[in-house]
Structure 1
């Protein structure tokens, strides 16, 4: 990457630095700790009482029309941030103003009426090392329900946090040997898979079976002719075909093929399927299979391919882009910068090397170029044009 040493570019970078470091620290706390915690049972009632008072003040000041439950949720998150890390009040207020519109108190009735949750029974069904089960969210148990919201210009990524105000039961698959949840239909699954459901049409291919949530929801659409599922694990196939698929209204649309997804994609013809949804990774910590699928799908032009959580992967990679910008900025200004990740994993090193190669010939000649390359959707465009192997 080549960075022009101009006053406007230097000012742009310093402007981002001033806000990004503190806000990224808060983000890390919210994403890694608060998003997996709950408001203690004994704290719910006093927090709601405080939320009621704040709601009255909002009414008096013509403030934002947030429900008492959402205000209580935000109060709880703010308190957890304050007791976890020391943070400047102005910075925290700014962060909470960004977080508030992206936060959500889920409607339990809406989720209970989701066709999959409503119609597919998960009681007492086992296959090999897997069993269908139900799990519970406790009141005000926080979770991430969608990809982060990218804030342009300052380039921070606000997590989308949600909770139920009452206990909520949702279906999942548990591994019997270690009693761990392998997969579940949480709000995160519902929200992050919805774009793929909306795009599905014609002859559909999906890589990864999981619980069959995408296949079920897509099969309900009249414009979906057929759905071919590629799954490698026989236990997963057996569990799906014996316990889940028989409950589908449109089971005749579904076909399951036991195969490795990457090998299967190497052999299909462009246009053989109208749409493909790739979902063979657990989350954004598993970026290698995401790239493996993208690389094997490069020859497809007539088949539209969507990748689960792709925007989240791009958001993660923009941090590597930022590090490349800072390295170039430091070099031309003779500054010493500490390593943001002194103990990188093998995957961290691969991400760093990939972004370095991707941006090798990029030139930053104006402040708008900084904004462009730090925007996740633009990074996806750059990756799609590249022939680099991760």
Structure 2
């Protein structure tokens, strides 16, 4: 009886895997993740679920029907608390284009700072943020709020800073679409586009190797990074791609550490960290004892964004292995991806390549990329490593062990005169 009472008073803890997700989650986490994605696209969860066009036999139909019930109950529960609790998405929605009337209650003094707005990392914003900014500017224009300047009067302005090639959070609802099509979402009498193409981190071959992959995603025309770090502009060290080899990783990481260089060891999947810590345990301990912990960092590709190191070790390919009917559906409802019926899937194909670009360009001089070049039982829809061209000087593709066994005379393929290769 006690067990039955406990069941009636506790939340369910079974796991559920929505089609297209990598793994199963506890049901409440799955609910929250799915609802947050919908809200990040600027949609109302309940309305979006009602508008879904999933087949009747889709395995996730019952999940989304249950989500609609849960989300309504959660909203009611949060609003009934004292004081009421609001999620970030709910606050954006309250003052976005769907809640524009609420902005009329905001004092002009609160809106005034928004008349001159700068948004960094613009490639990572979601539709809910865009809707809030658009609604705010519309209200500023309606009130004809003056822009406070030391000179003549001016209009409200927005400066967006970002890099569409570094947009890697589409899985949570962000999109570079708002940045690339800026004039569509923020029409103005005049706009100024400034390309900041000087790269003050990496040498040219690192830049070229990364761009050779990411250029397939489209974006702005005539966009090419130019090495501008005087410490490394003359370097000609190719990015090396090879089979996953923890012994090689340990040897090279030790070499670069003992040379006094900073090191980033990055992994695509979080569970890889345990293996890295095992093989680099001695070096990690040494760095701690010598007070050089900042010189040896272990992070995921996503967490490394904005960082740099002399030598970067990348573990794992950037790939897209699933399709998501439900996310394609809400993408369509949010008018993302144009007329593409699989807009979300297409965005994830591109994001795999952008993630590789971000990871490679953490390197100042040396970059080693360890990948499994074999296809799994089910061929991935996209893999960044497929787009590595071994004929480019900026790449040093070490033949896989299997390839060397099949054709040992090709083991030195890709090593050309004039290129500084390393093993």
Higher strand share: 1
Same fold (TM over 0.5): no
Larger radius of gyration: 2
TM-score by length of 1: 0.30
Higher helix share: 1
TM-score by length of 2: 0.28
